[in-house]
Structure 1
Amino acid sequence: MKLLALETSTDACSAALLIDGDIREKFELAPREHTKLILPMIDSLMADAQLKPQQLDAVVLSRGPGSFTGVRIATGVAHGIAFGADLPVVLVSTLAAIAQDFFNRHDVGISFTAMDARMDEIFWGVYRRNGLGLAELLGGEAVTPAAAAVFPDVSGFGVGSGWGVHGEVLTARLGRRVEDIVSEVWPRAACIAQLGAYDFANGLAVPVEQAMPVYLRDKVAKKQSER
Protein backbone atom coordinates (compact mmCIF):
# COMPACT_ATOMS: atom_id res chain seq x y z
CA MET A 1 0.00 0.00 0.00
CA LYS A 2 1.32 3.42 -1.00
CA LEU A 3 -0.50 6.51 0.25
CA LEU A 4 0.28 10.23 0.17
CA ALA A 5 -1.30 12.17 3.06
CA LEU A 6 -1.77 15.94 3.32
CA GLU A 7 -2.61 18.15 6.32
CA THR A 8 -2.86 21.98 6.24
CA SER A 9 -5.89 22.68 8.45
CA THR A 10 -4.12 24.59 11.24
CA ASP A 11 -0.91 26.59 11.73
CA ALA A 12 0.96 23.31 11.15
CA CYS A 13 1.69 22.08 7.64
CA SER A 14 2.67 18.50 6.85
CA ALA A 15 2.81 15.78 4.23
CA ALA A 16 3.46 12.09 4.74
CA LEU A 17 4.13 9.07 2.61
CA LEU A 18 3.01 5.63 3.78
CA ILE A 19 4.67 2.68 2.06
CA ASP A 20 3.58 -0.74 3.29
CA GLY A 21 3.10 0.47 6.85
CA ASP A 22 6.24 2.63 7.03
CA ILE A 23 5.47 6.36 7.34
CA ARG A 24 7.80 9.19 6.39
CA GLU A 25 6.69 12.72 7.22
CA LYS A 26 7.61 16.35 6.61
CA PHE A 27 6.18 18.64 9.30
CA GLU A 28 6.57 22.34 10.00
CA LEU A 29 4.77 24.75 12.30
CA ALA A 30 4.53 27.77 10.01
CA PRO A 31 1.39 29.94 10.06
CA ARG A 32 0.35 31.28 6.64
CA GLU A 33 3.23 29.52 4.88
CA HIS A 34 1.33 26.43 3.74
CA THR A 35 1.14 27.34 0.05
CA LYS A 36 4.94 27.70 -0.02
CA LEU A 37 5.66 24.54 1.96
CA ILE A 38 3.25 21.81 0.95
CA LEU A 39 4.42 21.15 -2.63
CA PRO A 40 8.16 21.04 -1.74
CA MET A 41 7.29 18.65 1.10
CA ILE A 42 5.47 16.37 -1.32
CA ASP A 43 8.24 16.58 -3.94
CA SER A 44 10.88 15.71 -1.33
CA LEU A 45 8.98 12.70 -0.01
CA MET A 46 8.23 11.34 -3.46
CA ALA A 47 11.80 11.88 -4.69
CA ASP A 48 13.32 10.17 -1.65
CA ALA A 49 11.05 7.18 -2.22
CA GLN A 50 11.64 7.27 -5.99
CA LEU A 51 7.91 7.28 -6.60
CA LYS A 52 5.71 8.94 -9.17
CA PRO A 53 2.08 9.88 -8.37
CA GLN A 54 0.83 7.16 -10.71
CA GLN A 55 2.46 4.57 -8.43
CA LEU A 56 0.37 5.61 -5.43
CA ASP A 57 -2.77 3.76 -4.42
CA ALA A 58 -4.58 6.84 -3.11
CA VAL A 59 -4.25 10.34 -1.70
CA VAL A 60 -5.36 10.81 1.91
CA LEU A 61 -6.80 14.23 2.70
CA SER A 62 -7.32 15.90 6.05
CA ARG A 63 -10.87 17.02 5.27
CA GLY A 64 -11.34 19.47 8.13
CA PRO A 65 -12.57 21.03 10.23
CA GLY A 66 -10.03 23.78 10.59
CA SER A 67 -8.96 27.04 9.01
CA PHE A 68 -11.16 27.67 5.97
CA THR A 69 -8.16 28.69 3.86
CA GLY A 70 -5.98 25.91 5.23
CA VAL A 71 -8.50 23.17 4.50
CA ARG A 72 -8.89 24.50 0.95
CA ILE A 73 -5.12 24.39 0.35
CA ALA A 74 -4.82 20.67 1.07
CA THR A 75 -8.05 19.97 -0.79
CA GLY A 76 -6.82 21.76 -3.90
CA VAL A 77 -3.46 19.99 -3.89
CA ALA A 78 -5.06 16.59 -3.24
CA HIS A 79 -7.53 17.12 -6.07
CA GLY A 80 -4.75 18.10 -8.46
CA ILE A 81 -2.66 15.03 -7.69
CA ALA A 82 -5.63 12.66 -7.68
CA PHE A 83 -7.04 13.99 -10.96
CA GLY A 84 -3.64 13.94 -12.64
CA ALA A 85 -2.78 10.39 -11.58
CA ASP A 86 -6.34 8.99 -11.63
CA LEU A 87 -6.29 8.15 -7.92
CA PRO A 88 -9.07 7.79 -5.35
CA VAL A 89 -9.10 9.92 -2.20
CA VAL A 90 -9.51 8.92 1.44
CA LEU A 91 -11.00 11.57 3.73
CA VAL A 92 -9.88 11.76 7.37
CA SER A 93 -11.11 14.15 10.06
CA THR A 94 -8.66 16.73 11.37
CA LEU A 95 -10.04 16.13 14.87
CA ALA A 96 -9.39 12.40 14.50
CA ALA A 97 -5.79 13.14 13.53
CA ILE A 98 -5.28 15.23 16.69
CA ALA A 99 -6.71 12.43 18.82
CA GLN A 100 -4.56 9.87 17.00
CA ASP A 101 -1.36 11.80 17.61
CA PHE A 102 -2.23 11.99 21.30
CA PHE A 103 -3.00 8.26 21.45
CA ASN A 104 0.29 7.47 19.70
CA ARG A 105 2.21 9.36 22.38
CA HIS A 106 0.20 8.46 25.50
CA ASP A 107 -1.31 5.22 26.79
CA VAL A 108 -4.81 6.61 27.34
CA GLY A 109 -8.26 5.63 26.13
CA ILE A 110 -10.37 8.79 25.68
CA SER A 111 -9.63 12.16 24.08
CA PHE A 112 -11.99 15.13 24.44
CA THR A 113 -10.61 16.72 21.28
CA ALA A 114 -11.24 20.42 20.70
CA MET A 115 -9.82 22.93 18.22
CA ASP A 116 -10.15 26.68 18.57
CA ALA A 117 -12.63 27.71 15.86
CA ARG A 118 -12.40 31.46 16.49
CA MET A 119 -15.67 33.41 16.80
CA ASP A 120 -15.76 32.17 20.44
CA GLU A 121 -16.44 28.62 19.24
CA ILE A 122 -14.70 25.26 19.16
CA PHE A 123 -14.65 22.35 16.76
CA TRP A 124 -14.94 19.26 18.93
CA GLY A 125 -15.42 15.51 19.04
CA VAL A 126 -14.79 12.74 21.56
CA TYR A 127 -12.55 9.87 20.49
CA ARG A 128 -11.67 6.55 22.05
CA ARG A 129 -8.70 4.34 21.30
CA ASN A 130 -10.07 1.16 19.72
CA GLY A 131 -8.56 -2.32 19.81
CA LEU A 132 -6.28 -1.47 16.89
CA GLY A 133 -4.97 1.62 18.63
CA LEU A 134 -6.86 3.92 16.27
CA ALA A 135 -8.97 6.96 17.13
CA GLU A 136 -12.67 6.09 16.91
CA LEU A 137 -15.36 8.77 17.15
CA LEU A 138 -17.96 8.53 19.91
CA GLY A 139 -21.09 10.25 18.62
CA GLY A 140 -20.49 13.11 16.19
CA GLU A 141 -18.33 16.15 15.57
CA ALA A 142 -19.69 19.67 16.00
CA VAL A 143 -18.90 23.36 16.16
CA THR A 144 -20.43 25.17 19.14
CA PRO A 145 -19.56 27.75 21.76
CA ALA A 146 -17.36 26.05 24.36
CA ALA A 147 -20.05 26.55 26.98
CA ALA A 148 -22.58 24.69 24.81
CA ALA A 149 -20.53 21.56 24.05
CA VAL A 150 -22.31 18.40 25.23
CA PHE A 151 -19.87 15.57 25.93
CA PRO A 152 -20.72 11.90 26.56
CA ASP A 153 -20.51 10.59 30.11
CA VAL A 154 -16.93 9.30 29.99
CA SER A 155 -13.64 10.38 31.54
CA GLY A 156 -10.56 11.30 29.54
CA PHE A 157 -8.05 13.94 28.55
CA GLY A 158 -8.66 17.41 27.12
CA VAL A 159 -6.68 17.54 23.89
CA GLY A 160 -6.06 20.26 21.32
CA SER A 161 -5.93 24.02 20.86
CA GLY A 162 -9.52 24.50 22.00
CA TRP A 163 -8.41 23.59 25.51
CA GLY A 164 -5.67 26.19 25.41
CA VAL A 165 -8.16 28.95 24.60
CA HIS A 166 -11.32 27.72 26.34
CA GLY A 167 -9.93 25.33 28.94
CA GLU A 168 -11.57 27.01 31.92
CA VAL A 169 -15.04 26.85 30.36
CA LEU A 170 -14.60 23.28 29.13
CA THR A 171 -13.26 22.09 32.47
CA ALA A 172 -16.25 23.66 34.20
CA ARG A 173 -18.55 21.63 31.94
CA LEU A 174 -16.72 18.32 32.37
CA GLY A 175 -15.55 18.64 35.98
CA ARG A 176 -13.65 15.64 37.31
CA ARG A 177 -14.12 13.75 34.06
CA VAL A 178 -11.12 15.69 32.71
CA GLU A 179 -8.03 13.84 33.90
CA ASP A 180 -5.56 16.32 32.41
CA ILE A 181 -5.22 18.86 29.59
CA VAL A 182 -2.71 18.76 26.72
CA SER A 183 -3.42 21.66 24.38
CA GLU A 184 -0.23 21.60 22.26
CA VAL A 185 -1.23 18.75 19.97
CA TRP A 186 -1.32 19.33 16.22
CA PRO A 187 -2.92 17.34 13.42
CA ARG A 188 -0.13 15.59 11.53
CA ALA A 189 -0.06 14.05 8.08
CA ALA A 190 1.53 10.93 9.60
CA CYS A 191 -1.65 10.38 11.62
CA ILE A 192 -3.80 11.18 8.59
CA ALA A 193 -1.89 8.44 6.76
CA GLN A 194 -2.24 6.03 9.69
CA LEU A 195 -6.01 6.46 9.84
CA GLY A 196 -6.33 6.62 6.07
CA ALA A 197 -4.57 3.30 5.61
CA TYR A 198 -7.22 1.56 7.69
CA ASP A 199 -10.03 3.27 5.78
CA PHE A 200 -8.47 2.52 2.40
CA ALA A 201 -8.03 -1.15 3.30
CA ASN A 202 -11.70 -1.23 4.24
CA GLY A 203 -12.94 0.22 0.96
CA LEU A 204 -13.66 3.75 2.13
CA ALA A 205 -11.81 5.63 -0.62
CA VAL A 206 -13.97 7.82 -2.87
CA PRO A 207 -13.58 9.18 -6.41
CA VAL A 208 -11.83 12.55 -6.41
CA GLU A 209 -15.05 14.32 -7.49
CA GLN A 210 -16.62 13.26 -4.19
CA ALA A 211 -13.66 14.28 -2.02
CA MET A 212 -15.09 17.41 -0.44
CA PRO A 213 -13.91 19.19 2.72
CA VAL A 214 -16.01 19.27 5.89
CA TYR A 215 -16.00 22.69 7.53
CA LEU A 216 -18.69 21.90 10.16
CA ARG A 217 -19.49 25.60 10.27
CA ASP A 218 -22.12 26.68 7.71
CA LYS A 219 -22.06 30.06 6.01
CA VAL A 220 -18.39 30.65 6.76
CA ALA A 221 -18.13 33.77 4.64
CA LYS A 222 -21.19 35.35 6.24
CA LYS A 223 -19.96 34.73 9.77
CA GLN A 224 -16.53 36.14 8.96
CA SER A 225 -18.12 39.32 7.60
CA GLU A 226 -20.15 39.69 10.78
CA ARG A 227 -17.11 39.65 13.08
Structure 2
Amino acid sequence: MTSKILAVDTATENCSVALKVGDETIARCEIAPREHTTKILPMVDSVLAEAGLTLNQLDALAFGRGPGSFTGVRIGIGIAQGLAFGANLPMVGVSTLAAMAQQAYRRHQADHVLATIDARMNEIYAGGFQRLDNGDWTTVVEEAVLPPALFNPQLANASWFTAGTGWQAYPDLISQLHLETTDSGVLYPEAEDMLILAYHALARGEAVDAEHASPVYLRDTVAWKKLPGRE
Protein backbone atom coordinates (compact mmCIF):
# COMPACT_ATOMS: atom_id res chain seq x y z
CA MET A 1 0.00 0.00 0.00
CA THR A 2 1.15 3.52 -0.75
CA SER A 3 3.14 4.93 2.17
CA LYS A 4 4.87 8.07 0.91
CA ILE A 5 2.36 10.75 -0.12
CA LEU A 6 2.93 14.47 -0.58
CA ALA A 7 -0.11 16.77 -0.31
CA VAL A 8 -0.30 20.43 -1.33
CA ASP A 9 -3.18 22.87 -0.99
CA THR A 10 -3.67 26.54 -1.90
CA ALA A 11 -7.45 26.57 -2.44
CA THR A 12 -8.17 29.07 0.37
CA GLU A 13 -6.29 31.76 2.25
CA ASN A 14 -4.31 28.96 3.85
CA CYS A 15 -1.20 27.60 2.15
CA SER A 16 -0.15 24.15 3.28
CA VAL A 17 2.02 21.15 2.46
CA ALA A 18 2.25 17.79 4.20
CA LEU A 19 4.25 14.62 3.68
CA LYS A 20 3.31 11.18 4.97
CA VAL A 21 6.09 8.64 5.29
CA GLY A 22 4.77 5.49 6.91
CA ASP A 23 3.28 6.57 10.22
CA GLU A 24 5.12 9.91 10.28
CA THR A 25 3.59 13.16 9.04
CA ILE A 26 5.61 16.31 8.35
CA ALA A 27 3.54 19.43 7.75
CA ARG A 28 3.89 23.13 6.96
CA CYS A 29 1.00 25.56 7.10
CA GLU A 30 0.68 29.35 6.80
CA ILE A 31 -2.20 31.79 6.31
CA ALA A 32 -0.83 33.72 3.34
CA PRO A 33 -3.45 35.29 1.07
CA ARG A 34 -2.04 36.21 -2.36
CA GLU A 35 1.35 34.70 -1.48
CA HIS A 36 0.73 31.08 -2.41
CA THR A 37 3.01 31.14 -5.45
CA THR A 38 5.99 32.22 -3.35
CA LYS A 39 5.25 30.06 -0.29
CA ILE A 40 4.26 26.65 -1.60
CA LEU A 41 7.44 25.39 -3.27
CA PRO A 42 9.73 26.32 -0.34
CA MET A 43 7.30 24.41 1.89
CA VAL A 44 7.59 21.39 -0.39
CA ASP A 45 11.39 21.60 -0.29
CA SER A 46 11.29 21.92 3.50
CA VAL A 47 9.21 18.80 4.18
CA LEU A 48 11.18 16.73 1.71
CA ALA A 49 14.46 17.87 3.24
CA GLU A 50 13.23 17.02 6.75
CA ALA A 51 12.24 13.56 5.57
CA GLY A 52 15.47 13.10 3.63
CA LEU A 53 13.55 12.28 0.46
CA THR A 54 13.30 13.48 -3.11
CA LEU A 55 10.16 13.71 -5.20
CA ASN A 56 11.25 10.66 -7.17
CA GLN A 57 11.10 8.56 -4.01
CA LEU A 58 7.42 9.34 -3.36
CA ASP A 59 4.49 7.12 -4.29
CA ALA A 60 1.85 9.77 -5.05
CA LEU A 61 1.00 13.44 -4.94
CA ALA A 62 -2.31 14.72 -3.53
CA PHE A 63 -3.73 18.18 -4.10
CA GLY A 64 -6.63 20.26 -2.84
CA ARG A 65 -8.99 20.03 -5.81
CA GLY A 66 -11.41 22.64 -4.46
CA PRO A 67 -13.86 24.09 -3.98
CA GLY A 68 -12.25 27.36 -3.02
CA SER A 69 -10.77 30.45 -4.56
CA PHE A 70 -10.68 30.09 -8.35
CA THR A 71 -7.14 31.49 -8.45
CA GLY A 72 -6.03 29.49 -5.44
CA VAL A 73 -7.32 26.20 -6.84
CA ARG A 74 -5.61 26.92 -10.17
CA ILE A 75 -2.30 27.69 -8.45
CA GLY A 76 -2.47 24.50 -6.41
CA ILE A 77 -3.24 22.16 -9.26
CA GLY A 78 -0.71 23.84 -11.54
CA ILE A 79 2.10 23.47 -9.03
CA ALA A 80 1.06 19.93 -8.15
CA GLN A 81 1.00 18.93 -11.83
CA GLY A 82 4.44 20.41 -12.37
CA LEU A 83 5.85 18.42 -9.47
CA ALA A 84 4.09 15.23 -10.55
CA PHE A 85 5.19 15.53 -14.17
CA GLY A 86 8.80 15.97 -13.15
CA ALA A 87 8.81 12.94 -10.88
CA ASN A 88 6.30 10.82 -12.85
CA LEU A 89 3.96 10.59 -9.86
CA PRO A 90 0.28 9.63 -9.92
CA MET A 91 -2.04 12.33 -8.59
CA VAL A 92 -5.21 12.31 -6.55
CA GLY A 93 -7.51 15.27 -5.89
CA VAL A 94 -8.95 15.77 -2.43
CA SER A 95 -12.03 17.82 -1.52
CA THR A 96 -11.19 20.88 0.55
CA LEU A 97 -14.53 20.52 2.34
CA ALA A 98 -13.86 16.87 3.22
CA ALA A 99 -10.37 17.84 4.39
CA MET A 100 -11.93 20.23 6.91
CA ALA A 101 -14.15 17.40 8.13
CA GLN A 102 -11.04 15.28 8.70
CA GLN A 103 -9.42 18.18 10.54
CA ALA A 104 -12.47 18.42 12.82
CA TYR A 105 -12.01 14.74 13.54
CA ARG A 106 -8.30 15.22 14.23
CA ARG A 107 -9.08 17.99 16.69
CA HIS A 108 -12.30 16.78 18.31
CA GLN A 109 -13.01 13.23 17.13
CA ALA A 110 -15.95 14.69 15.17
CA ASP A 111 -17.59 12.07 12.94
CA HIS A 112 -20.44 14.16 11.47
CA VAL A 113 -19.29 17.46 9.96
CA LEU A 114 -20.94 20.20 7.94
CA ALA A 115 -18.26 22.19 6.12
CA THR A 116 -18.73 25.54 4.41
CA ILE A 117 -16.43 28.01 2.70
CA ASP A 118 -17.35 31.64 2.04
CA ALA A 119 -17.61 31.68 -1.76
CA ARG A 120 -18.11 35.47 -1.96
CA MET A 121 -20.83 36.82 -4.24
CA ASN A 122 -23.33 36.07 -1.45
CA GLU A 123 -22.82 32.32 -1.78
CA ILE A 124 -21.17 29.48 0.10
CA TYR A 125 -19.54 26.22 -0.84
CA ALA A 126 -21.06 23.55 1.38
CA GLY A 127 -21.04 19.83 2.00
CA GLY A 128 -21.73 17.31 4.74
CA PHE A 129 -19.58 14.33 5.68
CA GLN A 130 -19.77 11.27 7.92
CA ARG A 131 -16.73 9.32 9.04
CA LEU A 132 -16.64 5.60 8.35
CA ASP A 133 -15.20 2.89 10.57
CA ASN A 134 -12.15 2.51 8.31
CA GLY A 135 -11.20 6.18 8.71
CA ASP A 136 -12.51 7.28 5.32
CA TRP A 137 -15.41 9.71 4.86
CA THR A 138 -18.66 9.45 2.96
CA THR A 139 -20.54 12.44 1.56
CA VAL A 140 -24.03 12.80 3.04
CA VAL A 141 -24.71 16.33 1.75
CA GLU A 142 -23.48 16.72 -1.81
CA GLU A 143 -21.00 19.53 -2.36
CA ALA A 144 -22.63 22.58 -3.90
CA VAL A 145 -22.38 26.34 -4.25
CA LEU A 146 -25.52 28.17 -3.23
CA PRO A 147 -26.92 31.21 -1.39
CA PRO A 148 -26.67 30.70 2.39
CA ALA A 149 -30.44 30.94 2.81
CA LEU A 150 -30.88 27.84 0.64
CA PHE A 151 -28.57 25.63 2.67
CA ASN A 152 -30.91 23.58 4.83
CA PRO A 153 -30.13 19.88 4.41
CA GLN A 154 -32.50 17.34 5.90
CA LEU A 155 -30.32 15.17 8.10
CA ALA A 156 -31.19 12.15 10.20
CA ASN A 157 -28.36 12.72 12.68
CA ALA A 158 -29.22 15.79 14.75
CA SER A 159 -25.75 16.49 16.15
CA TRP A 160 -23.10 17.97 13.86
CA PHE A 161 -19.77 19.75 14.06
CA THR A 162 -19.31 22.80 11.84
CA ALA A 163 -16.13 23.77 10.00
CA GLY A 164 -15.09 26.49 7.59
CA THR A 165 -15.41 30.20 6.97
CA GLY A 166 -19.01 30.15 5.76
CA TRP A 167 -20.38 30.00 9.29
CA GLN A 168 -18.55 33.18 10.28
CA ALA A 169 -19.45 35.00 7.10
CA TYR A 170 -23.14 34.14 7.48
CA PRO A 171 -23.99 33.73 11.20
CA ASP A 172 -27.67 33.03 10.47
CA LEU A 173 -26.68 29.72 8.85
CA ILE A 174 -26.64 27.94 12.20
CA SER A 175 -30.13 28.97 13.30
CA GLN A 176 -31.77 27.95 10.02
CA LEU A 177 -30.48 24.38 10.21
CA HIS A 178 -32.50 23.30 13.26
CA LEU A 179 -29.67 21.01 14.28
CA GLU A 180 -27.50 20.65 17.34
CA THR A 181 -24.12 22.01 16.23
CA THR A 182 -20.67 22.37 17.75
CA ASP A 183 -18.07 24.76 16.35
CA SER A 184 -14.93 22.78 15.56
CA GLY A 185 -12.79 25.91 15.31
CA VAL A 186 -11.64 24.75 11.86
CA LEU A 187 -11.53 27.62 9.36
CA TYR A 188 -9.39 26.38 6.49
CA PRO A 189 -8.36 23.05 4.98
CA GLU A 190 -4.85 21.80 5.70
CA ALA A 191 -2.76 19.47 3.59
CA GLU A 192 -2.09 17.29 6.64
CA ASP A 193 -5.73 16.22 6.66
CA MET A 194 -5.72 15.50 2.94
CA LEU A 195 -3.23 12.68 3.45
CA ILE A 196 -5.69 10.21 4.98
CA LEU A 197 -8.30 11.06 2.34
CA ALA A 198 -5.72 10.61 -0.40
CA TYR A 199 -4.67 7.28 1.11
CA HIS A 200 -8.20 5.93 0.83
CA ALA A 201 -8.71 7.41 -2.64
CA LEU A 202 -5.53 5.71 -3.83
CA ALA A 203 -6.70 2.42 -2.32
CA ARG A 204 -9.89 2.77 -4.37
CA GLY A 205 -7.81 3.17 -7.53
CA GLU A 206 -8.68 6.85 -8.05
CA ALA A 207 -5.17 8.03 -8.92
CA VAL A 208 -4.71 9.64 -12.34
CA ASP A 209 -1.78 10.69 -14.47
CA ALA A 210 -0.77 14.32 -14.02
CA GLU A 211 -2.28 15.44 -17.32
CA HIS A 212 -5.69 14.17 -16.21
CA ALA A 213 -5.75 15.83 -12.80
CA SER A 214 -8.65 18.26 -12.63
CA PRO A 215 -10.01 20.86 -10.19
CA VAL A 216 -13.54 21.16 -8.80
CA TYR A 217 -14.73 24.75 -8.92
CA LEU A 218 -18.48 24.17 -8.49
CA ARG A 219 -18.89 27.68 -9.87
CA ASP A 220 -16.50 27.32 -12.80
CA THR A 221 -18.76 29.06 -15.32
CA VAL A 222 -19.04 32.21 -13.22
CA ALA A 223 -15.34 32.24 -12.38
CA TRP A 224 -14.45 31.79 -16.06
CA LYS A 225 -16.63 34.74 -17.04
CA LYS A 226 -14.89 36.94 -14.50
CA LEU A 227 -11.53 36.48 -16.21
CA PRO A 228 -10.44 39.45 -18.36
CA GLY A 229 -11.49 39.09 -21.97
CA ARG A 230 -13.94 36.24 -21.25
CA GLU A 231 -17.69 36.31 -21.82
Give the TM-score normalised by the residue count of structure 2. 0.91
Matched-pair contact (CA < 8 Å) for 1:163–1:181? no
- The structure-2 alpha-carbon separation of the partners of 1:148 and 1:223, relative to structure 1 and needing over 3 Å to count, comes to farther
Provide the residue aligned with 1:121 in structure 2. 123
Residue in structure 1 matched with residue 165 of structure 2 by the alignment: 161
Bigger CA drift: 126-135 or 97-106?
A: 126-135
Distance in 1 between the 2:136 and 2:154 partners?
19
Q: Give the structure 2 partner of residue 204 of structure 1.
A: 206
AA matched with 2:198: G
Match of 2:144 in 1: 142
CA contact (8 A) 2:9 2:16 kept: yes
Q: CA deviation at 1:224?
A: 7.3
Gaps of 5+ in 2: none
**Is residue 105 of structure 2 the alignment partner of residue 103 of structure 1?**
yes
Q: How many residues align?
A: 223
Conserved 8 A contact 2:103-2:186: no
Equivalent-residue separation in structure 1 for 2:110 and 2:46 (angstroms): 34
Structure 1 stretch displaced more, 179-188 or 199-208: 179-188
Worse-matched range after superposition: 147-156 or 158-167: 147-156
Task: Name the SS for the 2:220 alignment partner.
Answer: coil
Q: What do residues 195-221 of structure 1 show as CA deviations (whole Å, max 9, x unaligned)?
A: 111211232211111101000113213
Alignment-derived partner of residue 32 in structure 1: 34
Secondary structure class of the residue paired with 1:87 = coil
Q: 2:90 — aligned with what?
A: 88
Hey, which bits of structure 1, 4+ residues long, moved more than 4 A? none
SS in 2 for 1:23: strand
Q: How much has 1:184 moved relative to structure 2?
A: 4.1
The answer for the alignment partner of 2:61 in structure 1 is: 59
Classify the secondary structure of the residue corresponding to 2:170. Answer: helix
Instruction: Tell me if 1:21 matches 2:42.
Output: no
- Root mean square deviation, CA, Å: 1.6
Is contact 1:161-1:183 (8 Å) kept?
Answer: no
**Deviations for 1:27-80, whole angstroms, at most 9, x for unmatched residues?**
111111111110000011111212111111111011000011111111011100
Alpha-carbon distance in 2 for matches of 1:218, 1:37? 25
Identity %: 43
> Which moves more between the two structures, 97-106 or 152-161?
152-161
Number of the residue aligned with 1:44: 46
Unmatched 5+ stretches in structure 1 = none
- Structure 1 length as normaliser, TM-score? 0.92
User: What's 2:135 paired with?
Assistant: 133
Structure 1 residues 150, 223: closer, same or farther in 2, change over 3 A? farther
- Note if 1:191 corresponds to 2:211: no
Cα distance in structure 2, aligned partners of 1:109 and 1:19? 25
Q: Paired residue for 1:172, among 169, 172, 175?
A: 175
Partners of 2:130 and 2:146 in 1: how far apart? 21
2-structure distance, mates of 1:21, 1:204: 22
Is contact 1:121-1:144 (8 Å) kept? yes
Residues 9 and 65, structure 1, Cα contact 8 Å, conserved in 2: yes
Match 2:4 to one of 2, 5, 24: 2
In structure 2, what is the equivalent of residue 214 of structure 1?
A: 216
